A = this chain, B = another copy of it.
Amino acid sequence: MPDRPLSVTLREVARAAGVSTASASRALAHSDRVSVELRGRILAAAERLGYAPNFAARSLAARRSGLIGVMVNTLAEPHLADTLTALERRLAAAGYGLVIVAPQGASGPSLTRALQQLLGRGAEGLVLADTAHARELSPVLRARRLPWIAMADDALGGELAIDGGRRRGAELACRYLLDLGHRRFGVIACDAATAAGVVDALPGGVVAGTAPVQDGDAAQAAMQRLLDQQDRPTAVICDRDLYALAAVRACLGQGVSVPSAVSIIGFGDADFARRAVPALTTLRIASAAVGEHLAASLLACLEHGTPPPGFVTPIKLVVRESTGPAPR
């Protein structure tokens, strides 16, 4: 380890410019509260010395961290990457950084530790990507008066919430398929709530079967079961493109053609959706727009304390090759 400090401090900049650290600090933060002349000298000195502020010191003194906390279940969730990239960029432009934690499971010590990390780092706002986390933490967050947004379909009792678009997506998909003449539907979804959301969007009595499913294998098996039913569905709605792909594979494996015998629709417009054979009809979400909205909402809360205007996840149906008219 070298003896001299690796980084230049404000004090050194101030000395080089022949001013107090107070002025140096002001020149850097509020350029208008210092004369142009001083400011010039200070900025030049900072530049020349390669000054980089120490955020920990700044946090401590200013009582704000400039950090937004993000809690995810896993970063591997489809679309999360795009959303977070957009969030990070928008926040960085406003001078905020991102701390990300990924607790294992929706409760227990790992969750607690993750929250401690975020709180201990002084996060000024939180983004909760996982509904279960949001549900678990909402009381303590409320008590702390910390602005937070859950990326979830339901509003979790009035907090900022961003709707994932699944419900509206379900409506779009159902309307489209009904128009094509389909009357027997299957639903393959991650959880029962989502499946129920789809069922709600359908006229009574038209559902052939629903299957909550956790991975591609389960989705494929679920499709298999749907095909074995006597009153087999002619259209299957999946809440992930991966499940739709698995469903297609199950059909083709049985010699059931897609879309002439069964129409299949996915969710998300993942990168592979348009390149699959048949290319997947799916619901596309503007993930980057979601990230930007998250950022804008949080910033609005932090700066004016006002909750942001409502946001409706941009979503649209992309019709490709995996859907068609109902067989007669």
Chain A residues close to B by CB (< 8 Å): 1-2, 6-7, 52-57, 59-60, 65, 74-77, 80-82, 84-85, 88-89, 92, 97-102, 104, 113-114, 116-117, 119-122, 144-145, 216, 220, 241-242, 245-246, 248-249, 252, 270-272, 274-277, 279
In the complex this chain forms, how many copies of it are found? 2
What is the CB-to-nearest-CB distance from A77 to chain B, in angstroms, rounded to a whole number?
A: 8
| Contact B120 A53, beta carbon cutoff 8 Å | yes
| Contact B88 A101, beta carbon cutoff 8 Å | yes
A216 interface neighbour in B75, B104, B216, B271, Cβ under 8 Å: B271
| Contact B100 A98, beta carbon cutoff 8 Å | yes
A89 interface neighbour in B57, B104, B277, Cβ under 8 Å: B104
A60 / chain B contacts, CB cutoff of 8 Å:
54, 56-57, 60
| 27 A–B pairs (Cβ distance < 8 Å), ordered by A | A52-B116, A53-B120, A54-B120, A54-B122, A55-B122, A56-B56, A56-B59, A56-B60, A60-B60, A74-B81, A75-B80, A75-B82, A75-B84, A76-B82, A76-B85, A80-B81, A92-B114, A97-B121, A98-B101, A216-B271, A216-B274, A245-B272, A249-B276, A249-B279, A252-B277, A276-B277, A277-B277
| Most chain B CB neighbours (cut-off 10 Å) among A56, A77, A92, A122 | A56
* Assembly CA distance A65 to B279 (angstroms): 48
A56 interface neighbour in B75, B121, B248, B252, Cβ under 8 Å: B121
* Assembly CA distance A84 to B77 (angstroms): 12
The chain B residue sitting closest to A272, CB to CB, is B272
| Contact B92 A97, beta carbon cutoff 8 Å | no
A114 / chain B contacts, CB cutoff of 8 Å:
92
